[in-house]
Amino acid sequence: AASEAPRARTAFLAGAPLPQRLALRALLALEQRPRGAALLERLPAAAQLARATVALIRYDDVRVARPLGWDPAAVVARGRAVREGTARRAGIAG
């Protein structure tokens, strides 16, 4: 699981536009170092953002998310059902 963390972080950051990706990388680099974490604690909003981002990256792992009630396959299935139902009501052939 520890070896998957960098891959998960890379995949998470890859989905962000370039400016946000650079900012998030810098924020996560600060959060991982003792002096950087101390600096972030002086900026409560930045510290909260760093902690929330790390949590989101972990939540992206199905093994972490599923026990918490998040099932990505179920979300996709619900989305498909909604789209199909909307298309049927609008008379659109799919």
pLDDT of residue 91: 74
Provide the 8-state DSSP code for 61. S
Q: Which helix (H) or strand (E) holds 70?
A: none
pLDDT in tens, 26-51: 999 999 999 999 999 999 999 999 99
pLDDT of residue 64: 82
Domain ranges for the chain: 4-60, 69-94
Tokens of 44: 């409560």
Q: How many CA atoms lie within 13 A of 69 on its CB side?
A: 0
